Amino acid sequence: MRSAFAIAFLVALSAAPVAAQEDSALAQFYAGKTVTISVGFSSGGIFDLYARILARHIGAHIPGKPNVIVQNVPGAGGRRLANLFQKTGPHDGTAIGITTPGIVTDQVMQAEGVQYDLRKFHWVGSPADEVNVLWVWHTSPAKTLADAREREVPLSSTGHGSPNYFVPRILNQLIGTKFKVITGYPGATEADLAIERGEVSGRVSGWTGLKATSDWVAAGKVNVLVQQGLRKAPELKDRPLLPDVAANERDRLVLDFLSLVPALGRPFFMPPGTPPERAAAIRRAFELTMKDPGFLAEAAKGKLDVAPLTGQEMQAIVARSFAVSPDVLATARKAME
């Protein structure tokens, strides 16, 4: 037993200098650098809010304490940012991205315009999972999904890669709703303004963001028709989840697959090719930031949920999405045509 303790002690002693050398190398690299968090949408939406709060606190937990800034890279429902990360990076550990988790579904379904491979990205973490809701303005004559089968309901969308594009289109094909998806809005702010102006009747939003970025929910101006996610929002127990509205087992499996998307919440990631030790350092910094009192205070003030997922947990959800059967994917693709 004494020999075993001695060996363990010697191993610990030998490991400590290696860890110190790694930390020193990381600090040397990041000192004086600028880390950029790129948001796949215009400013003002829930993804942008999470990114800006994270940027104000994560630098203190990265070795070398680099400066951290935010830039907005809107386009194609978040797909543009993922494509840029794949092709141009930067791949040196100074780039972090956040965009819709719908980019996973896009790749799995081999959507047009996908030039990235998320299986090679480094998943940093997510502040919380999410429940998406398909909702309409309180003045809309469509009060239920049954109503949406009888009349056309225009919805705003930020682009093909977002749930606000593919969820209503899937419902049109599988259960016969008449949602008219209008794309071209660069971000949530513009998509919501279109609703307020009466250009469209509603859209698909994250429930957390919908509550945090306006007073519409509290004022009774939002009518939720269906939820997308692995769980129901606590306030919406009487509203169905996507699989609940399926007409048969095949369609239920398709809607189960789409329900994986919000489970990633607000996904932060790094480009493929990022040195693993730097990606690991950013991941550790993210996890520490999720416990940082300053970050938590700002999130609470902004009414943002914090129930974080680790990078490893996100990787498992991504892998589960890619493991969906060919039959389910074929049905989902046909429904999206």
CATH number at residue 249: 3.40.190.10
* 5 lies in some domain: no
Q: Both 235 and 274 in a single domain?
A: no
* 19 lies in some domain: no
Q: Both 116 and 149 in a single domain?
A: no
* 174 lies in some domain: yes
pLDDT at 45 (0 to 100): 86
Q: Both 251 and 316 in a single domain?
A: no
Q: Both 142 and 90 in a single domain?
A: no
Question: What is the arithmetic mean of pLDDT over 244-255?
Answer: 94
* End position of a domain, from candidates 201, 229, 261: 261
Measured CA to CA, the distance from residue 334 to residue 320 in angstroms comes to 21
pLDDT at 337 (0 to 100): 66
* 326 lies in some domain: yes
* End position of a domain, from candidates 245, 261, 277: 261
* 163 lies in some domain: yes
Q: Both 85 and 147 in a single domain?
A: no
Instruction: Determine which of 118-122, 139-143, 235-239, 262-266 has the lowest per-residue pLDDT on average.
Output: 262-266
Question: Does position 31 have pLDDT exceeding 70, yes or no?
Answer: yes
Q: Both 98 and 217 in a single domain?
A: no
| Preceding peptide of 276 cis, ω within 30° | no
* 23 lies in some domain: no
Question: What is the arithmetic mean of pLDDT over 131-148?
Answer: 97
pLDDT at 9 (0 to 100): 57
Residue 324 contacts residue 257 (beta carbons within 8 Å):
yes
Question: What is the arithmetic mean of pLDDT over 226-253?
Answer: 94
Question: Does position 239 have pLDDT exceeding 80, yes or no?
Answer: yes
Output the CA torsion sign for 284, 286, 287, 291: positive
Provide the number of structural domains found in the chain: 2
CA neighbours closer than 13 Å in the CB half-sphere of residue 298: 17
pLDDT digits (tens, 9 = 90+) for 106-127: 899 888 899 999 999 999 999 9
Q: Both 236 and 273 in a single domain?
A: no
pLDDT at 166 (0 to 100): 87
Q: Both 304 and 240 in a single domain?
A: no
Question: Does position 331 have pLDDT exceeding 90, yes or no?
Answer: no
CATH of the domain at 276: 3.40.190.150
pLDDT at 20 (0 to 100): 64
Measured CA to CA, the distance from residue 46 to residue 27 in angstroms comes to 31
Question: Does position 146 have pLDDT exceeding 60, yes or no?
Answer: yes
pLDDT at 44 (0 to 100): 86
Q: Concatenated DSSP letters for 94-121?
A: -EEEE--THHHHHHHTT-TT----GGGS
Instruction: Determine which of 88-97, 146-155, 300-309 has the lowest per-residue pLDDT on average.
Output: 300-309
pLDDT at 208 (0 to 100): 86
Q: Both 248 and 138 in a single domain?
A: yes
- Determine the structural domain holding residue 242 and report its residue range: 132-261
Q: Both 201 and 253 in a single domain?
A: yes
Residue 191 contacts residue 135 (beta carbons within 8 Å):
no
pLDDT at 1 (0 to 100): 55
Question: Does position 212 have pLDDT exceeding 90, yes or no?
Answer: no
* 14 lies in some domain: no
Instruction: Determine which of 148-157, 224-233, 254-263 has the lowest per-residue pLDDT on average.
Output: 254-263
* 178 lies in some domain: yes
Q: Both 225 and 144 in a single domain?
A: yes
Question: Does position 314 have pLDDT exceeding 90, yes or no?
Answer: yes
Measured CA to CA, the distance from residue 128 to residue 126 in angstroms comes to 5
Q: Both 216 and 100 in a single domain?
A: no
Beta bridge partners of 309: 126
Task: Give this prediction's pTM.
Answer: 0.79
Find all residues with CB under 8 Å of 297, minimum gap 6, and list them.
none
- 331 versus 317: the higher-pLDDT residue is 317
What is the average pLDDT value for the chain, to the nearest integer?
A: 91
Instruction: Determine which of 4-18, 96-110, 170-184, 224-238 has the lowest per-residue pLDDT on average.
Output: 4-18
